[in-house]
Structure 1
């Protein structure tokens, strides 16, 4: 009997292993097509089949999938990385498999086009302009009014996103984006946006069903690095209903509605304002939070959809799950980090994980790569979950020695214990 396989286009540092585990539970063999398999540590496992191929070359991917069909029954093709999700849609259409609409995904991944479509549909969004150079940025920021947010028109993980509160910060970040330091995923185009102020929320959708809403807290500005996330967000029924209705209107405006979508909001003085729509699963620890909170395995249910099986999004229970990310407060060399086992032993802690090891250089970039680890806690109530999280995080500590400056001797920093 021909073995059924799930084809993954590129991996994902956090979600990739979860896709492999979900596929195994469903009796599928996972094959990852990647331009650089070494980018994903988990792909070094002997149990995971990997094919090196240029994942930006659609013809090369079609060729490899056709070759694999001689050995396997390809049950489905998918990805966790947003950059290749439109390619996944094109492959699914070529091989007549369930998948996202590639044109809709491409429109959504261009944040300028996305905002145009949302605005045309009457969805509340921040004021925005598209800039091609420093002169444009300066003029549009003056039109919108400081503070503004500058971000690449195409990008993920808050890479290159910064709050600019004055003309100096505006000029500094414009120079960073256009001066060769930022790695662009497309031609250099900058979105200049009104800074929508208020509590931040992320909405998980599968198909046309709103699964839940998360509350997100960020580290101090000017960057937008997630520090803590609570699932579900403490909202009233009316607030939840309003966010859900606007989220579904985003799907209609963007031609989405197949598979996973994540919609991000700020609740401002004028109500919910859509910051962006992502045509993919929310990354990081979000799938674990959803499973702990509701008993819904988003990864497994997504794979079921990909292979044409019926999915099940029914809630098994209703708990509160929360994640605290471990963030460095300085650049330098990580001397030590410990407390993992102590924190993991706290009742109600679901996972403690460090992403870095001692002697690692710490260079903050103001995006998801700054994270040094996380703690996830869960319980039946919000107050109890928050208390568990605080107890666990208090047991973790680290020390970072600042990089030496010219003419100064290297000094050791005092141990740092987060609040």
Structure 2
């Protein structure tokens, strides 16, 4: 079988089973300068062709390239595990009549309006929401609901472009921001009511609309904390936590109701509201959760979601994956945002043995600006461990205190 592989980030290569010879006749497409010449030479024996595209993200160059490759030497499947390529790959599969997640399914898992409309019609609790076509739509929604109000892109990734509005003054400021509202017709934005309550994410894999493995985590501090200037942190739930089974069962329900492809990874986010038994749906993506999710799964369940997802997209049989019964250890992640100023000092190593990986993204002398997206981080860890939820939460607090005590910004 021959594959066309789209990797917007070279890090995905770590999850490609090259040594097994599965992709020897395949074409790998990446952004320009993703790989050094030495890396290309090392990878070449395992792949048929490696193409680096100049304008990978902002133009249709990739689509045209894939179309021409298919005309010359048809491939059987498209492998595209990253969120940035889900819609692109869906369109291409539909255009070329290939198996896998088609455009209709990919849109449902990317467009926050489409997914809420599908689920709301089927009885799932969702926040009050509205697609925005013009300024008046936004003002009308605000008239009908109380603050806080959330404004965000329908196709956004991470927390990019998300605004939480607390007052009419916030509304005035956002309406006058030309980078948000560039003209009177605003077709790619949506608004919804802010939901008060802890937020959870459930990650897993599904085959034939049946969840084969899933497990929930709690956002101890949501990703919006990065934009707010605090920090973001997440922790797996323990097996004995009563929400663990409830959220696993909820994930099964959502996967059945959505137009889920034959082989899927999923990252589902929900709120739990006091006095309300049913979770409130936030959004779902047909991909592996970002940042530390895969680190956590490999450590706590010995399951590599990224590698398995690629094999599933390639229609390669994977070993029987059983639903985890309990994590071997409670794992999580912590990320600290950039702070406006000049970085004077930051520690490059972490002294805590329960912080298994520690990453720093800036150096002394760097000029830092306030973050506008969850990717704008100063440092943190994709893998922090504890024997219980309580112990992990305490260790996250200890790491936060240590990090800020040892980071100086002028």
- Relative to the length of structure 1, the TM-score reads 0.79
**2:226–2:377 CA contact under 8 A, matched in 1:** no
Instruction: Specify the alignment match of 1:195 in structure 2.
Output: 194
Aligned-residue RMSD, C-alpha: 3.3
Matches within 5 A, 1:161-200: 161-176=162-177, 179-180=178-179, 188-200=187-199
Say whether residues 1:17 and 2:23 are aligned partners: no
Instruction: Specify the alignment match of 2:374 in structure 1.
Output: 368
Say whether residues 1:213 and 2:212 are aligned partners: no
2:302 to 295, 305, 327: 295
- Determine helix, strand or coil for the equivalent of 1:189: strand
Aligned length: 381
Aligned mates of 1:142, 1:223 — CA distance in 2: 26
2:341 to 329, 332, 343: 332
Unmatched segments (≥5 aa) in structure 1 = 402-419
Q: Residues 223 and 183 (structure 1 numbering): CA distance in 2 closer, same or farther, change over 3 Å?
A: farther
Instruction: Specify the alignment match of 1:144 in structure 2.
Output: 145
Name the stretch that deviates more: 150-159 or 350-359: 350-359
Aligned mates of 2:78, 2:374 — CA distance in 1: 26
Q: Residues 386 and 45 (structure 1 numbering): CA distance in 2 closer, same or farther, change over 3 Å?
A: farther
Q: Residues 91 and 225 (structure 1 numbering): CA distance in 2 closer, same or farther, change over 3 Å?
A: farther
Aligned mates of 1:79, 1:225 — CA distance in 2: 33
**1:247–1:263 CA contact under 8 A, matched in 2:** yes
Say whether residues 1:122 and 2:119 are aligned partners: no
Q: Residues 198 and 284 (structure 1 numbering): CA distance in 2 closer, same or farther, change over 3 Å?
A: same
Q: How far 1:297 sits from its partner (Å)?
A: 0.5
Matches within 5 A, 1:86-125: 86-92=87-93, 99-125=100-126
Instruction: Specify the alignment match of 1:37 in structure 2.
Output: 32
**2:6–2:28 CA contact under 8 A, matched in 1:** yes
1:283 to 264, 286, 290: 290
2:68 to 59, 63, 66: 63
**2:235–2:333 CA contact under 8 A, matched in 1:** yes
Q: How far 1:274 sits from its partner (Å)?
A: 0.5
Q: How far 1:242 sits from its partner (Å)?
A: 3.0
Instruction: Specify the alignment match of 2:47 in structure 1.
Output: none
Q: Residues 132 and 363 (structure 1 numbering): CA distance in 2 closer, same or farther, change over 3 Å?
A: farther
Q: How far 1:324 sits from its partner (Å)?
A: 1.0
- Determine helix, strand or coil for the equivalent of 2:151: strand
**2:229–2:337 CA contact under 8 A, matched in 1:** no
**2:361–2:377 CA contact under 8 A, matched in 1:** yes
Instruction: State the Cα deviation string for residues 94-147 of structure 1 (Å, max 9, x = none).
Output: 777652232111133221122111111111100012223333222211202111
Instruction: Specify the alignment match of 2:330 in structure 1.
Output: 320
Say whether residues 1:264 and 2:273 are aligned partners: no
Instruction: State the Cα deviation string for residues 256-283 of structure 1 (Å, max 9, x = none).
Output: 1431111100101323101111122111
